[in-house]
Amino acid sequence: MGDLTTVILAAGAGTRMKSEKAKVAHEAAGRSLLGWVMAAAEDAGSVRSIVVVGHQAEEVAALVPPGSECVFQAQRLGTGHAVRMAAERFTPETDSVLVLCGDTPLLRGDTLKSAWGNHRDSGCSATVLTAMPGDPTGYGRILRNAEGHVAGIVEHKDATPEQREIREINTGVFLFKASALLEALPLLENKNSQGEYYLTDTLAILIGLGGLVGSHLVADPQETIGVNDRTQLAEADSVLQKRIRERHMKSGVSFRLPETSWIAHDVEIGPDTLILPGCMLEKGTVVGPGCIIGPHTRITGSVISGGVTIANSVVTESEIGEETKVGPFAYLRPGSRIGRHVKIGDFVEIKKSVIGDDTKISHLTYVGDAEVGQRVNLGCGVVVVNYDGHVKNRTVIGNDAFVGCNTNLVSPVEVKEHAYIAAGSTITQEVPAYALGIARSRQTVLEDWVRRKGFDKSGGK
């Protein structure tokens, strides 16, 4: 079996996206449109991808991973011209050529692999992937000869009323014998209203040279939909989300109101985890087994161990240990590492800090640039004052320390193991092990001060 090389057309301007970003760089389910197409080609068995770039070429080329390559189409003279440029990179090992558009993220690798197998077995010079949508309006129709082979493609605007009754359409995906494609490309002409070289014209050329053109019907027409505007981008994202959630559910993950949650393509979720409504699990996130995530929780690029509960919170580029509880309304910022059996409560913010096992930070607390030991208790309203206006300083709190409510820990400072801090203190110096740190003024009571100052609002009663 010869090698399969994929040519991906990604040179268009995508003006209907109304964007400064290249169309194929827009993302669906956390991956670029081009990334989805390249992944499908790889899953189909393609050993090499050649991406034709043009508009915003540098941005598009940056999406192409090592092992693939780009060719630059300076003048965009049509699909046939683009493939002709890519063909200059073919090698003697190139046996079959798959041509894809860079804006079709719904194509599955299994579909392309099946089409490639049928193409090889048929002996055809070219194979057109076709579909049968409910409404074929606007698509090119497949014309067949008496033997059932593809005789040509007629565009909707050029079709007769009888031809418009044909439901089978051209998807824009083609497979070629490399030798046949190389024979046909130099014969392309641009004698049309657009002055462009159309890849579809190679079919008639191949038929004229005595070759056969076959077809492969894509069972699900939805796979072949291209993205040309923001509405279609949202539709593609919705389809991909459904696939992703179904994949996780088949692996033992439960969703409440699954359509309300958004999951990036590379997210890993362990079995027996429950995803509650309104969650976003973004790129690079790993969730262990037996977790409860949500409702209304966003996790980005983080590793969540087994048995963790996170409610109504934001977790970004952090790690959370087993059986820890986070939220509601907590915020874990990048660089945070939370231990096992930890409690991160409501309106707690952790930034670039290490929190030891069995520590409790229950509510209304900020911990930044700190190392907090095991079995520590941080009371309500504790603030690690980590910024002096020039640099971020570090605070260290030892194992089994207790920090009372409304305490300020002015970094850099260290609270040793087993130390206690009295509520309302502002700590600026080290507190030794087993010591009690108190840093507040002594309470003074001035009897009858309100009346003497004239602040009594009761009228003297």
Model pLDDT for residues 150-187, shown as the tens digit of each residue: 999 988 888 999 999 999 999 999 999 999 999 999 99
Query: For residues 368 and 354, what is the distance between their CA atoms, to the nearest angstrom?
Result: 9
Model pLDDT for residues 208-232, shown as the tens digit of each residue: 999 999 999 999 999 999 999 999 9
Would you state the pLDDT for residue 277? Answer: 98
Beta carbons of 296 and 278 less than 8 angstroms apart: yes
Using a 10 angstrom Cβ sphere, with 0-12 exposed, 13-18 middle and 19 or more buried, the burial of residue 162 is exposed
- Name the residue ranges covered by the structural domains of the chain: 3-224, 252-437
Would you state the pLDDT for residue 268? Answer: 98
Residue with tokens 């003074």: 444
Would you state the pLDDT for residue 158? Answer: 85
Model pLDDT for residues 119-160, shown as the tens digit of each residue: 999 999 999 999 999 999 989 999 998 888 899 998 888 899
What is the amino acid identity at position 424?
A: G
Question: What is the band of 358 on the pLDDT scale with cuts at 50, 70, 90?
Answer: very high
Query: For residues 239 and 250, what is the distance between their CA atoms, to the nearest angstrom?
Result: 17
pLDDT reading at 302 higher than 60: yes
Would you state the pLDDT for residue 92? Answer: 87
Which residues face 31 on adjacent strands? 28
Q: Euclidean distance between the first and final Cα of the chain, in Å?
A: 102
- Known catalytic membership, residue 149: no
362-to-342, 401, 404 alpha-carbon distances in Å: 10, 15, 12
Model pLDDT for residues 10-41, shown as the tens digit of each residue: 999 899 999 999 999 999 999 999 999 999 99
* Annotated active-site residue in 216, 248, 265, 363: 363
**Rg, C-alpha atoms of the chain:** 32
Q: What is the pTM (predicted TM-score) of this model?
A: 0.92
Model pLDDT for residues 83-98, shown as the tens digit of each residue: 999 999 998 889 999 9
What is the amino acid identity at position 323?
A: E
- What distance lies between CA 184 and its chain's CA centroid? 39
Tokens of residue 393, six digits: 């300083």
Question: What is the band of 249 on the pLDDT scale with cuts at 50, 70, 90?
Answer: very high
Q: Is the bond preceding residue 295 a cis peptide, omega within 30 degrees?
A: yes
Whole-number average pLDDT of the chain: 95
Question: What is the band of 194 on the pLDDT scale with cuts at 50, 70, 90?
Answer: confident
Would you state the pLDDT for residue 275? Answer: 98
Beta carbons of 280 and 299 less than 8 angstroms apart: yes
What's the CATH code, domain 3-224? 3.90.550.10
Question: What is the band of 460 on the pLDDT scale with cuts at 50, 70, 90?
Answer: low
Model pLDDT for residues 304-346, shown as the tens digit of each residue: 999 999 999 999 999 999 999 999 999 999 999 999 999 999 9
pLDDT reading at 192 higher than 90: no
Tokens of residue 103, six digits: 């804006």
Determine the angle formed by the axes of helices 33-44 and 109-122, rounding to 10 degrees: 50
Alpha-carbon dihedral sign for residues 367, 337, 318, 322: negative
Q: Considering the chain, what percentage of its residues have pLDDT values greater than 90?
A: 91
Say whether domain 252-437 belongs to CATH 2.160.10.10. Answer: yes
pLDDT reading at 57 higher than 80: yes
Average pLDDT over residues 202-209: 95
